Amino acid sequence: MEEETRSFCVILRAIEQIKEKPIRSDTLGRGQGLGSSFMVPIHARPIMGNQIIIDGSIGEGGGQVLRTSLALSALLERPLVISNIRVGRRRPGLRPQHLAAVRALARITAAELRGDAENSTSLVFMPRRISGGNYRFSIGTAGSVCLLAAAILPPLLFAPHPSVVVLEGGTHVPFSPVFHYLEKVFLPILRRMGAEINVTLDSWGWYPRGDGSCTLRITPCQGLQALHLPYRGRLCNLTLMLGLAGLPLHIIDREESRVRMCLEESGYVLERQFEAAPSPGQGNVLFLRGEYEEGVAGFSTLGKKGWPAEEVADDLCRQFLDFDHSNGSVDQHLADQVLLYLALAKGDSLFTAEKVTSHLMTNIEIIEKFLPVRFMVDPAVHSVMVTGTAFTVQNKEHQ
């Protein structure tokens, strides 16, 4: 404990020294994380021992940089210093949903923290040991429980004991995967790789009220298997889920009618599933799941005030048709979400992305700072190959 505390103090002193003597700007990127003139490396580098420094403005520069960095820091039990967090966003720094991820992982790993305050653009995270168990984490707003899950799943998947985790916040909110994507697309792919994770929807939470919750049940694994998914094969099943809370039923009738007109006239066979979504707030979601011979893909659209039901349905159809007319074996969201797990897997993984997005390339860049993994991306055909690290709890010191 005394050694860890001394190490933590050294990190803080190093940051202060960097603030006093900024490193040459021809090798660094300018930021606003720890002072108006503070400069940080564009790429991660250790400041002592096995610590990692990350510039949060790297690549896409959003919350994904933070979540991936925190997840890997926690998993590898390596101290993390991150600056310029979301500095390019309209509201820079840590928002409530990001703080929830920071504090959840701090609790899971008994980490020491500095900078864990709303709007903070810098953070020091020093994890100790991962502990499985029973947890309840509340975002306190309509922040996405699915994005919070993305941060905590990697370390808990390699914890010494099983975990049951209740997450409270938004389950179906803008700018994030909806709960049904987590349940029906993301987790099935992880199970295919050997992970044992299940999730249940306890209550629906819509923007702006939130108040939703889900429960994750995570059984630790010894290691993950590679994923070989160069082709998706033919479409076997297409299911439309319509969710509605506190709004007239004619909305989903109009949405379903429009989706059927768009897809069935093009030869697609559509199954329908309606879910009443009892919640304290109002909301409307369409989720379309395509089950192919070799994989699954998911697409969602949230209704909002002033947006006609027909246009909500059109947006959903455009997403699906763009994917189905591509050569992608995974949709664009799954492509960047699964990367971290492929990097931990044993052997060579291969998939074809619907698109090579900035999110995907940013996640690759961050993961490479933590793990001796090899990525090969062919932009011409959107193929992504990952030579994994065969991560286990026993070999984490060698990562």
Q: What is the DSSP letter of 381?
A: T
**What does the alpha-carbon distance between residue 266 and residue 280 come to, in Å, rounded to a whole number?**
38
Burial of residue 300, with CB atoms counted within 10 A of its CB: 0-12 exposed, 13-18 middle, 19 or more buried? buried
Radius of gyration for the alpha carbons in the chain, expressed in angstroms and rounded: 21
Alpha helices in the chain (DSSP H): 2-20, 63-76, 96-109, 145-157, 179-181, 187-192, 250-264, 309-324, 332-337, 339-344, 358-370
Paired sense of beta strands 348-352 and 228-229, if any: parallel
**What does the alpha-carbon distance between residue 287 and residue 331 come to, in Å, rounded to a whole number?**
14
**What does the alpha-carbon distance between residue 87 and residue 272 come to, in Å, rounded to a whole number?**
42
**What does the alpha-carbon distance between residue 68 and residue 152 come to, in Å, rounded to a whole number?**
10
**What does the alpha-carbon distance between residue 111 and residue 105 come to, in Å, rounded to a whole number?**
8
In one letter, which amino acid is 228? Answer: H
Max Cα separation, the chain?
69
Contacts of residue 3, defined as CB under 8 A and 6 or more positions apart, other chains included, come to none
**What does the alpha-carbon distance between residue 262 and residue 321 come to, in Å, rounded to a whole number?**
10
Q: Which two tokens stand for residue 207?
A: 């923007």
359: annotated active-site residue: yes
> Of 98, 359, 382, 398, which residue is the catalytic one?
359
The residues that are catalytic are 359
